[in-house]
Structure 1
């Protein structure tokens, strides 16, 4: 039986059509995957179903009856709940208080705490969840916090649950626990819409999957009759290559080294971090976000000074050298937040390709004058070399897609043939095609005998590209693993186990 139907749903933001006449049928008691690249329209579609957005066209039916969902309150009243990618718990409130927040049982004007606690306990018993209801939510691991978010939705009577990219910040073990939780809810008769761009999760969890591409529905099919290659081609519109040849090219020469580095707050303090990157090697840094990766990157590029320890490049102590000096010595940096540290959106493509290098000899004509003809030729060359899709070199960068903005950053950082590249979350927010392209670029840097330090929250990416992998936990290196190590070992280290325990 079809429990939820969407017909002809269209949502526009100005001239951008985020959802273009989408039809969707979700059957009662199934886990239905909503698959697509970033920007395909998945979150917009689910937000229209949940009442966060109002569609410009189209109709929504619940059990055959047309419904009008003007707000999340309407959706909740109809039995539709949504768990967002970014969790919304109040850290200093206890677990049970978060679950009942906004729907507290009352005795007169006061919250009936005894009844509220009892109702939450009953919900735990029904769902089979195990939680310490008296703990503050902020003390819980992210995976457990997510279970609390699911319980919040169930407490409000949801029969249809929408989960928007729920595994983005989870360890492999937490992903497995979430999958187990959702299978349990399905067995209890709940209907689940699971939004993701990760094929492996779709195959592990879903009964059927609907694929979106550029705001349009490509198709719906049973997961049992699909293959990863088939779904990837539906997402992208062309053949996609998943496997990268693993070439062992590392040399004895150490290009970059951190030696017993400690840092102070703000952020996560680094504690005795040591690592070496060899020529012809990609060293990966894995871990759940927020465990010191950003602080590590700041130390590498010179934005954060260590309290103790040394930063060494090509055998020379560069701890006191500022970022510009490190760049001139042959280091490059692909920042994790390109908008904050990588580009200026209102500058042109040409100007962004030049940022930080505008005073260098190739672009100067005399002491004070820029050689604009040479700058234009340089920009056109990089646009062609990196396949940057833009109307021209003078187009403001903000009008380019995320993937093409990232290509501008990468083109600039590699333009002067650095010996060492720090790549932080290089494919974050990019579609499958742009991700594939940038991964090939990083492998090309390695083949040229240069060193790459890859920091990524995408464990699959780290394992696919790296020769060795270090796992970070709470500002420390928890251990080193081969990229061929199984996910269970990675998950143990990402959860705080030291290597000999793993």
Structure 2
């Protein structure tokens, strides 16, 4: 492909232009893990006061590179220069002292503290813990247009506000170089637009932003420059003014941009999941009862994907936990394939045929320090091939783990390595392979492609489609509205614990769905035909020949 190169590099890895205004220069960065080279001879130049996107497939080495820049890991080879001065980082404290801050994909906030307490925590030595600190927080919030409310409890904030708090935290510590890891993964379209406005404000104030993302169209909308990493090394830079999403996808994974759009309806008349009148109330620390699910009723038939759209924190997690038997019901019933499971334990529901892809794969899907074959057993201890009668069968479990690795393209040097050594996308494929291995009747898929690259996305979508054609019923919860619209047969909108709207994926746009998710629309959502046609045209760009990524497991990269 042809893409302009905003910061050309000679073969020796030194920039030929632009070094006078470079905020970050990485030269020859190499990082090895046992059996795997995560980064090899990486060269990256980020100009001051720009939004620089870093893209690449899962396992390509992006996160390893950013951990090196943030002082969380030390490179085996190569140099780091910040504002033209070469430096070494041994801890994140060293990077923070040089003006580098990182906002991780999984937020690190204490829900039971206020915004200003979260911001000050660990930085008490900067402005104290009183009026001076509050004044500084307000000053930074106003300067960068973040609109943060210092005295609000974090648990009362939506996901977009939490993200702004995370950004403010690093700015409070003096960051002038900001690393954002998948910052739009959980935002609705309107929140993405607001975040991009924040980034432009940051840029205008001289802050440099390194933006890690898998969402190609968003990168093209906000980035001033793009660098692509593949298989642990830089493969090229691109100018967002001239490069297309199709070309970026080809640079990242060697395949065209995949689409989640389903090809034909497989919905039958046979009801698989029937949920009626679910109600759950929780009591907070102050003893106040709060209803988190209120009169939830839904039905999913064999071969149907029912999508649930909603801003995070509106009851999706509780709905999943209620169906899985992880939360007790105050009222309502859960019936699977004609069998009432309302009083059953989670294991009995698993054995009855419920597969589960959790929202947070680290907290609820994997034992990170356990080998892959032990992770294959999780949730299915009593089922073959993991057990033989009352005893575990490690030999059969190991054999089936190898089958999952092959069939689901889990890139790993072996099944004895820990789950923590896999990239996020490969962890996700392992979980999906594990759940599909037991031929579930119902699959609960909570954000199944969150944080995975376009190649892994295509594979995950195809596995879901194949199972759907074989009669699988799917409850799909996703913050990716294009994925939700493309895969679902029906969409319901959840807001403050209630199902408030529904939509036909064929006649709704992501923008109108996003509006309903904020509570601004109720009932049946119908977009204007012109808007639907325009959205379909944009979504179809570069998707004519959808090709899943097919590189071999030998290309495994650790530590992404």
Q: TM-score, normalised by structure 1?
A: 0.82
Q: Tell me how far apart the structure 2 counterparts of residues 397 and 71 of structure 1 sit (CA, whole Å).
A: 24
Distance change in 2, residues 1:58/1:480 (3 Å) = same
1:71-106: CA deviation from partner (whole Å, max 9, x where unpaired) = 444434433333333444555655455555626676
Q: Secondary structure at the match of 1:235?
A: helix
Q: Which residue of structure 1 aligns with residue 181 of structure 2?
A: 164
1:478–1:497 Cα contact (<8 Å) kept: no
Pairs within 5 Å for 1:49-448: 49-89=69-109, 91=111, 94-96=114-116, 98-99=118-119, 102=123, 113=131, 115-242=132-259, 244-265=261-282, 269-323=292-346, 325-326=348-349, 330-336=353-359, 345-346=370-371, 348=373, 352=377, 355-358=381-384, 386=408, 398=419, 406-407=428-429, 409-411=431-433, 413-415=435-437, 417-428=439-450, 430-448=452-470
Offset at residue 274 of structure 1 (A): 0.7
Distance change in 2, residues 1:162/1:346 (3 Å) = closer
2:188–2:479 Cα contact (<8 Å) kept: no
Show structure 1 runs of 5+ residues with no match. none
How many correspondences in the alignment? 493
Offset at residue 179 of structure 1 (A): 0.4
Q: Tell me how far apart the structure 1 counterparts of residues 439 and 417 of structure 2 sit (CA, whole Å).
A: 26
1:349–1:408 Cα contact (<8 Å) kept: no
* Bigger CA radius of gyration: 1
Offset at residue 259 of structure 1 (A): 0.5
Q: Cα RMSD over matched residues?
A: 3.9
Bigger shift: 92-101 or 31-40? 92-101
1:37–1:432 Cα contact (<8 Å) kept: yes
Q: Which residue of structure 2 aligns with residue 491 of structure 1?
A: 514
1:248-274: CA deviation from partner (whole Å, max 9, x where unpaired) = 332343222100111344898422111
The partner residue of 1:12 within 25, 32, 37 is 32
Q: Tell me how far apart the structure 1 counterparts of residues 266 and 469 of structure 2 sit (CA, whole Å).
A: 7
Bigger shift: 472-481 or 187-196? 472-481
2:185–2:451 Cα contact (<8 Å) kept: no
Distance change in 2, residues 1:380/1:279 (3 Å) = same
Distance change in 2, residues 1:432/1:117 (3 Å) = closer
Q: Tell me how far apart the structure 2 counterparts of residues 153 and 397 of structure 1 sit (CA, whole Å).
A: 31
Q: Secondary structure at the match of 1:224?
A: coil
Q: Tell me how far apart the structure 1 counterparts of residues 70 and 391 of structure 2 sit (CA, whole Å).
A: 56
Q: Which residue of structure 1 aligns with residue 54 of structure 2?
A: 34
Q: Tell me how far apart the structure 2 counterparts of residues 370 and 72 of structure 1 sit (CA, whole Å).
A: 43
Distance change in 2, residues 1:387/1:87 (3 Å) = closer
The partner residue of 1:460 within 461, 469, 482 is 482
Offset at residue 36 of structure 1 (A): 1.9
Distance change in 2, residues 1:40/1:259 (3 Å) = same
Q: Which has the higher contact order (CA 8 A, sep 6+)?
A: 2
Q: Secondary structure at the match of 1:453?
A: strand
